[in-house]
């Protein structure tokens, strides 16, 4: 699948800098960002949303986490967003760091949406309307539904 800029997806992490990722992902990437994580995300950007999906033909939020998290952090997490939150060590919003998981309750009693925290309030997730994308926690919509963070040790 082409990258967001229309060129071929890169084949090695070392070949891209933070400024390259800033261009490809459309968000300001700090120099100290985890390039392995960004590379994994770039491979999934714009994959369409599919409930229960777990591959590049379509993926849901927990499917994305299940694909990216073990590859980058060598940690296997549960398949369902609510189960992921239940198994993760709770993390406050102010203590979030790269690789933590963020959880949302959108018009339900249970956590029904999750993403991977990146940096500077950005997180990656599989949106039902736009597929895999990067959003900001302080956006009005996400801020309204945010219920907490979680961390798995690797």
Q: Which of 69, 125, 142, 149 is catalytic?
A: 125
Question: Which residues on adjacent β-strands are paired with residue 134?
Answer: 124
113 catalytic per annotation: yes
CA proximity to 142, closest of 88, 121, 151: 121
Mean pLDDT of the chain: 90
pLDDT of residue 130: 95
Q: Which of 29, 61, 65, 137 is catalytic?
A: 61
pLDDT of residue 153: 81
Q: pTM for the full model? A: 0.89
pLDDT in tens, 6-52: 333 444 555 788 999 999 999 999 999 999 999 999 999 999 999 99
Q: Which of 29, 113, 132, 137 is catalytic?
A: 113
Cβ–Cβ < 8 Å for 84, 65: yes
Residue 2 — pLDDT band, cuts 50, 70, 90? very low
pLDDT of residue 58: 98
């Amino acid at each position: 699948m082409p990258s967001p800029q229309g060129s071929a997806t890169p084949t090695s992490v070392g070949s891209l800098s933070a400024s390259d990722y800033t261009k490809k992902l459309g968000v300001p990437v700090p120099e100290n960002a985890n390039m392995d994580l960004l590379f994994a995300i770039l491979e999934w950007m714009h994959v369409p949303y599919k409930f229960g999906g777990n591959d590049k033909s379509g993926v849901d939020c927990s499917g994305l986490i299940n694909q990216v998290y073990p590859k980058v952090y060598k940690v296997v997490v549960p398949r369902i967003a609510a189960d992921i939150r239940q198994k993760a060590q709770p993390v406050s919003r102010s203590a979030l760091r790269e690789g933590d998981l963020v959880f949302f309750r959108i018009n339900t009693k249970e956590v029904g949406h999750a993403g991977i925290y990146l940096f500077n309030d950005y997180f990656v997730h599989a949106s039902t309307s736009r597929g895999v994308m990067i959003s900001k926690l302080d956006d009005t919509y996400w801020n309204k539904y945010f219920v907490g963070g979680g961390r798995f040790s690797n």
